[in-house]
Structure 1
Amino acid sequence: MASSDATPATPTMHYAYPSPWSTGLCECCSDMPSCCLTWCCPCVTFGRIADIVDKGSPDCCISGCLYFLTLITCCSCIYSCVYRTKMREHFLLAESPCGDCVLNCCCQSCALCQEYRELRNRGFDMSLGWEGNKGRQIREVGMTIPVSPAGMMR
């Protein structure tokens, strides 16, 4: 029986540092359509954000309705804090200017607007939802796949 002198490779840890948000928290007026939507219908804004963050499950309407229920029971800041944290962790965004829950309790409308702008700035069409964006990305990727040279066949 031959003994193996090979030592197992040690896993390398890659630490990702949080990046800043693409827009500031108080830049709501720089995007008046989403600002007005959030001010008049925060349930719609939240539903659209949750649909993208949860990758379509649950549906935008369900998330918006759940947000409405938490809104009338004064618990919406907790619910939206969960989604801000999910989004921040997924995109490796900095937790600034303060903690997610503190931010949502003190300035929830600004937080929702910032999240909405961030997703839009990352290429999501917020009016399409997760499924529409997924389909759009597949079509775009399908058009840009390079043709492999003949020598690269299996």
Structure 2
Amino acid sequence: MAFLPEVDDPSNCLITFFCPCVTFGQNAKIIDRGSTSCACAGALCFLIFNFFYCSFWYTCTYRTKLRGLYSIPGDQCRDSCVHLWCEPSAFCQEYRELKNRRFDPSIGWVANEEQRTWRVGIVVPPSVPGGMIR
């Protein structure tokens, strides 16, 4: 693993460099399928980091969840190490993984679901009048 993330999304790299909790919050919202808000996850990450200096204990659980959702090989020990030693790079990696799975973490869960529904083009079958007639 390289120390610096690939710069295929420079805006995400800049946001993660200056405000890593924003990227974490965006990732968490998608990984939790909208049950966690971006602001809540990001604020909790920020508070844990600033008061206890060990936000990796919290953030690495989302990497483990992401691996579990998509059957990505690895283990929780590696997840903890990655978040301990290069947390911003881990956030960028997780963001890129979600983008590769056709999610856009920057727009949130609801907007992603709307886009997925629109792309699939749900077809409603025609209604049948009444019951069966002989």
Fold match (TM-score > 0.5) = yes
Native 8 Å contact 1:25 1:114 kept in 2: no
TM-score (norm 2): 0.82
Cα-to-partner distance string for 1:66-103 (whole Å, 9 max, x where unaligned): 1111111212111111000000111111228x710011
Give the alignment of 1:48-127 within 5 angstroms.
48-72=26-50, 73-95=52-74, 99-127=78-106
Structure 2 alignment gaps of length 5 or more: 126-134
CA distance 1:123–1:90, change in 2 (3 Å): same
Aligned partner of 2:14: which letter? C
Give, in whole Å, the separation in 2 of the partners of 1:83 and 1:117: 14
TM-score (norm 1): 0.72
Structure 1 alignment gaps of length 5 or more: 1-22, 148-154
CA distance 1:30–1:141, change in 2 (3 Å): closer
CA distance 1:25–1:51, change in 2 (3 Å): farther
Give the alignment of 1:5-24 within 5 angstroms.
none
Native 8 Å contact 1:52 1:130 kept in 2: yes
* RMSD of Structure 2 on Structure 1 (CA): 2.6
Higher CA-based Rg: 1
Give, in whole Å, the separation in 2 of the partners of 1:25 and 1:82: 20
Native 8 Å contact 2:3 2:86 kept in 1: no
Aligned partner of 1:49: which letter? N
Native 8 Å contact 2:28 2:41 kept in 1: yes
Give, in whole Å, the separation in 2 of the partners of 1:34 and 1:90: 23
| Identical columns (%) | 41
Consecutive aligned runs of 4 or more in structure 1 exceeding 4 Å deviation: 23-26
Aligned partner of 1:71: which letter? F
Select the structure with the greater relative contact order (CA < 8 A; seq sep ≥ 6). Answer: 1
Q: CA deviation at 1:112?
A: 0.6
